[in-house]
Amino acid sequence: MSQAQALATLQAQVGQEVHVSDWLTVTQAMVNIFADATLDHQWIHVDVARAQADSPFGGPIAHGFLTLSLIPYLTGEVDPDRPRYTGLKMGVNYGVNKVRFPHPVPVGSRVRARVTLQSVVEAKGGLQLVNAITIDIEGVNKPGCVAEMVSLLYF
């Protein structure tokens, strides 16, 4: 698919939900690894016993930024064997316009991403997409994360 073909295809999808991921279980191991990587060892994330005893959430919760960082995986942007767009050479996270964490993600929860394409334009030798992304928590009415993500696609 050429860039021009991708642009036409994507323009036709603006305003539509374009992707719903599979469910992913957020494990304590994931939370601990993220804590080590970011040096954020707040007890509500990594001290299971204390979180069960003292947290208003009844147990440990994922870091909000861990939930945010799962977006590339959940949206299928990092699987080289299954590119979201044929002919795509490279996708780059360009930024986040907005992000909120309306509900904590308890460890052991299953999450998934829902992606709605908000806009697509030609930019910087590729295409710039703005997607509204909602991270659902299975069995919970409020999402764990809502974000307006900006990415660049190069064909």
Please report, rounded to a whole number, the percentage of residues in the chain having pLDDT higher than 90. 87
State the Cα–Cα distance between residues 121 and 143, nearest whole angstrom. Answer: 28
Residue-wise pLDDT tens digits, 80-124: 677 777 888 888 999 999 999 999 999 999 999 999 999 999 998
User: Which distant-in-sequence residues (6+ apart) come within 8 Å of 122 by Cβ?
Assistant: 3, 7, 128
Task: Please state the rounded mean pLDDT for residues 127-145.
Answer: 98
Task: Give the architecture (CATH level 2) of 3-154.
Answer: Roll (3.10)
Task: Please state the rounded mean pLDDT for residues 14-30.
Answer: 97
Closest to 120 measured CA to CA, from 109, 111, 128, 131? 128
Q: Which of the residue ranges 1-5, 36-40, 55-59 would you say has the lowest mean pLDDT?
A: 1-5
